[in-house]
Structure 1
């Protein structure tokens, strides 16, 4: 039994050490690691102001909701992770925080464009609307007669396909104009009737240019025109400096916690420190797998949850001390200590978890980030303490039934 516990304990330590070594590179990878928010990664803060309609009709809250939905879709299609998008109904504004945007001007143009797509016959009459478009995708020109470059492939609805077939049948040998917000994109010559509901816009010099127009066509047109009233670019250097300071503060805090647990709880303190490493791995891997965007408030929530994880261990260890001082063996004291501490710990963590869920549900932006990291940390700390810490302590007391209680920071004569 003693030999088996030693093997299990050594194996556990080696597995955790390997997990730490293997986790460093993927978690801190700038491209594929944990995504950073605007305050850490840099990006752009935008305020889009809705402009009055030409008809003089008032801008309604429904117009603002539709505009927000379309802008959200465009942001997602641009590949921006976890954007913060808020609507100010009173002032008819949409406020955006976009992290990791390398070309703010390009993003601005895509977001504020009304994106009204039209097809016009050779006489200049609008014969097909963008509303009859079901999809638009960017790609490379694969045609043998094309000039290379890039294209946008269009797919029409059933009604749109019929109209496009009639249009291309009627005007063989003539040009059809394709416009975006009355700006000519291309005016290809119709060589043969196109009856399959598929069309292609050619002539793009870069894939990014084709992709931007595809985003606009795919997301539909904004119900109101938008203008940029504020644009603040957040430099990555500021974010990196804040991140470094946060990491430095976290390291100092962890060193203090590790030393505190070692001095006051001896061997269980070592177990607690070991458990904190496992806890940190669990939380960071959850962030990575679910693409949780890390912000400064999010880091604060994570650090707060570390404090709660330590508090969990302290409560358990104090209960174990009480049981051993009352005359129980270390093995019985560990089991009884965990059982008696369970209700106290659960109550404290559940109430904090409820608070985190409330903040996440009703909060916005960075408040949500704080609540999310705090909630994930609480769940991870409960899991680690109730499974990993308990397992390691069981293995330790199982190695020797006569283990000196002084190793647990316990004096029986107290």
Structure 2
């Protein structure tokens, strides 16, 4: 204890290391949440040494925005303004002059005491104000934060309440009434992008310590060209081998299945391009796995048709029965896989998320090409030829 009544606590070296390690782990998790919220595909986040975080982001079109998101601590507090302090005079004890975010030359006397902490926020979403049409951020507190927010607004009607982010005042509205719901709105000179970014930061949480960008490098795609080329070759070789297998085992119907496989691949690439997704090795692995699943579905259909032919059914009846018997199994298996990969996409991160996205798209295209395109080709061939036997 000190003579003035305060207490000084000195941490040991081991305790300091433990706190630093904890802060680093928390920072990595928050950085990961912020990166995932931007929609980045296959981000790689790792720790380098005792105090550095390395972030690799392929295919990022706006690196400055990402750097700003990572460099913002996003420590939000709600504090009352001192009505007796003057912005043009030295502030009294317990009050600090903080600049406005949209006008740094304008400073407001904000009390140091934090009335409500932004750590109690449970959600934040960007939106447009219903009356002014201006962009704003709508937020919601948890139960404890909602009670504190209601108590503060009840006890300070008519006073100005500053919303402070990293020691800058975003806005300082006058408390017009009690807010018991725990929900509020942050207004200011927001654009759609800045409101979205602020909501993203609030949802991801505040960093336990500021992050400084000490190095930024842009690496050309040619450095990863060899890996992508090798992946493309393996994908092509696998596709050719599968196509040859289908023709050898199932003849003309195998050729129709090959056409459906190629169309499946084209559709996957088209949808990924539509989403502006980056083609990565996990994504290519997902494509190869999807083609394998599509082949399984086509084999199942052809084997069912063979079984019906062996039972003595006519060509048309065998085709119809084969598709009917196989469709339920194909839908069930793909629905199960779809659910699993949607969960991977929602809760995963980095390469896992890219892999899950590719598989999810591939399952949808597989169902379309297998149950619709293949069937359409077979039925069209039968209508034109009217064969007595089937080429399976």
Question: What is the TM-score of this pair, normalised by structure 2?
Answer: 0.54
Flag the 1:250–1:177 CA change in 2: closer, same or farther, 3 A: same
Q: CA deviation at 1:108?
A: 1.9
Please give the residue correspondences for 1:218-229 in structure 2 after superposition, counting only pairs within 5 Å.
Answer: 218-228=203-213
Deviation per CA, 1:41-77: give whole Å up to 9, x if none. xxxxxxxxxxxx9x94633766455434533443455
**When the two structures are aligned, how many residues end up with a matched partner?**
331
| Contact 1:74–1:215 (8 Å) recurs in 2 | yes
Q: Distance in 1 between matches of 2:318 and 2:228?
A: 39
Pair 1:233-2:218 in alignment: yes
Q: 2:169 matched to which residue of 1?
A: 185
Unaligned 5+ residue runs, structure 1?
1-52
Q: CA deviation at 1:248?
A: 9.6
Aligned-pair Cα RMSD in Å: 6.1
Q: 1:158 matched to which residue of 2?
A: 147
Q: 1:108 matched to which residue of 2?
A: 67
Flag the 1:186–1:259 CA change in 2: closer, same or farther, 3 A: closer
Q: 1:195 matched to which residue of 2?
A: 177
Please give the residue correspondences for 1:261-276 in structure 2 after superposition, counting only pairs within 5 Å.
Answer: 267-276=252-261
Flag the 1:137–1:160 CA change in 2: closer, same or farther, 3 A: same
| Contact 2:125–2:138 (8 Å) recurs in 1 | yes
Q: Distance in 2 between matches of 1:177 and 1:322?
A: 75
Pair 1:71-2:31 in alignment: yes
| Contact 1:301–1:374 (8 Å) recurs in 2 | yes
| Contact 1:130–1:217 (8 Å) recurs in 2 | no
Flag the 1:268–1:202 CA change in 2: closer, same or farther, 3 A: closer
Q: Distance in 1 between matches of 2:209 and 2:270?
A: 42
Q: Distance in 2 between matches of 1:295 and 1:279?
A: 18
Deviation per CA, 1:278-298: give whole Å up to 9, x if none. 644776799799998753331
Q: SS state of the match for residue 114, structure 2?
A: strand
| Contact 1:84–1:97 (8 Å) recurs in 2 | yes
Q: 2:3 matched to which residue of 1?
A: none
Please give the residue correspondences for 1:10-409 in structure 2 after superposition, counting only pairs within 5 Å.
Answer: 56=16, 58-59=18-19, 63-64=23-24, 66-77=26-37, 79-82=38-41, 84=43, 86=45, 88=47, 91=50, 94-98=53-57, 101-118=60-77, 119=79, 121=82, 122=85, 123=92, 124=95, 125-129=111-115, 131=117, 134=121, 157-164=146-153, 166-167=155-156, 169=158, 178-182=163-167, 184-185=168-169, 188=172, 193-197=175-179, 198=184, 200-203=186-189, 206-228=191-213, 231-234=216-219, 267-277=252-262, 279-280=264-265, 294-303=279-288, 305-306=290-291, 309-310=294-295, 331=315, 365-366=350-351, 369-370=354-355, 373=358, 389=374, 393=378, 396=381, 403=388, 408=391
Flag the 1:291–1:102 CA change in 2: closer, same or farther, 3 A: closer
Deviation per CA, 1:54-110: give whole Å up to 9, x if none. x94633766455434533443455x32456364649846555444554332332222
Flag the 1:332–1:186 CA change in 2: closer, same or farther, 3 A: closer
| Contact 2:116–2:149 (8 Å) recurs in 1 | no
Flag the 1:299–1:370 CA change in 2: closer, same or farther, 3 A: same
Q: SS state of the match for residue 128, structure 1?
A: coil
Q: CA deviation at 1:277?
A: 4.9
Q: Distance in 1 between matches of 2:239 and 2:376?
A: 23
| Contact 2:153–2:178 (8 Å) recurs in 1 | no
Deviation per CA, 1:97-152: give whole Å up to 9, x if none. 445543323322222322222335344132335525646555668888xxx98655
Flag the 1:67–1:161 CA change in 2: closer, same or farther, 3 A: farther
Flag the 1:103–1:277 CA change in 2: closer, same or farther, 3 A: closer
Unaligned 5+ residue runs, structure 2?
1-12, 86-91, 96-110
Q: Distance in 2 between matches of 1:186 and 1:312?
A: 57
Q: Report 1 or 2 for greater relative contact order, CA contacts < 8 Å, sequence distance ≥ 6.
A: 1
Q: SS state of the match for residue 19, structure 2?
A: coil
Stretch moving more, 155-164 or 371-380: 371-380
| Contact 2:41–2:354 (8 Å) recurs in 1 | no
